[in-house]
Amino acid sequence: VQDYDLAATLTSGQAFRWQCADDGWEGVVGRHWVRLKQEPDGITAQTAAAVRDWRWLEHHLQSQVPLAEVLAQFPADDPHLQLAVQSCRGLRLLRQDPWECLASFILSSTKQIVQIRQIVAQLCERFGQPVAVPPGHAPAWAFPSASELGRCAEADLRACRMGFRARPLFEAAQKVASGELDLARLHALEEAPAREALMRLRGVGPKIANCVLLFAYGFPRAFPVDVWVMRALRQFYFPRRRPARARLERFIATHFGPQAGYAQQYLFHYLRKR
DNA sequence: GTCCAGGCCAAGC
DNA sequence: GCTTGGCATGGA
């Protein structure tokens, strides 16, 4: 794959489990431990066990997505967005497991990315299944399933230093485990009803719902607005006065076009890195 | 010490 | 409809 910036993609606050090791990026995708390395002509991957079918990884990395075609759909008359693209071209959107994505972003509210990573790491070590790693390598765990989290005690979650986020995470785990919320079914829904379904969960508002819609379900227009993106929006597009919510929503829906979600990710990473 | 972090919710205008 | 304070915790 060309035009793929692994470092930018894995550090852009979409996923919280990738670590920069001496020789590449190490993480766990589903039940696969994997080490990725950026090469001049693509990405190489190493696993603990032999792999015949790599579709799970291609799907996760979205390496078959033609980035040029995505970026060509950005508004051409937007100098700020074009600058963001210049600064981190090759940044991609991953396609994550819905439960891992939902749970991670429930944990994300008013936390710095470093801390989200710490909480998620503790959660995996305490409640996740161990996965195969190369000989001599430190152990690694899968992200704990909804039923694995739903059958522990809320206090056990709290012990992972997640504070007030323990209750919403625990409730979400139980609702997903029981089938009251069927995450697989959301794939078949349109964006708006899928968002409504997610927002029925305690602790899931528009921002977290949009993260899940974009990062796990791949709705290309989903546009999470956090403090950083809000900063970008106000600074670049509404420098005079703070826009009303309806006005802002209309702007987002019309200005950024069919790949608004990608545009959002470029703005987020651009502002955070500069 | 103070401020703030990929927010959300309930209460009060 | 919009604004405000509270929520746990820890990095900057």
pTM for the model stands at 0.98
Task: Report CA(A244)–C1'(C2) in Å, whole number.
Answer: 9
Nearest nucleotide relative to A268: CA against C1'? B6
pLDDT of residue A232: 96
Distances (CA, A) of A248 to A69, A191, A217, A229, A255: 26, 19, 24, 12, 10
**Rounded distance in angstroms from the CA atom of residue A139 to the C1' atom of nucleotide C1:** 52
- Tokens standing for residue A15: 């996923």
Which pLDDT value is given to residue A143?
98
Residue A274's pLDDT is: 87
Q: How far apart are CA A163 and CA A143, in angstroms?
A: 19
> Does residue A122 reach within 7 angstroms of strand C, measured from its CB?
no
**pLDDT value, residue A27:** 98
Nucleotide nearest to A207 (CA to C1'): B7
Show the low-confidence residues of chain A (pLDDT under 50). none
Residue A266 CB in 7 A reach of strand B: no
Q: DSSP code of A29?
A: E
How much is the pLDDT for A156? 97
DSSP state for residue A143 in the 8-state scheme: P
pLDDT, position A60: 98
Residue-level pLDDT at A22: 83
B9: residue with closest CA to C1':
A203
Query: Which residue minimizes Cα–C1' distance to C10?
Result: A115
Per-residue pLDDT, A23:
81
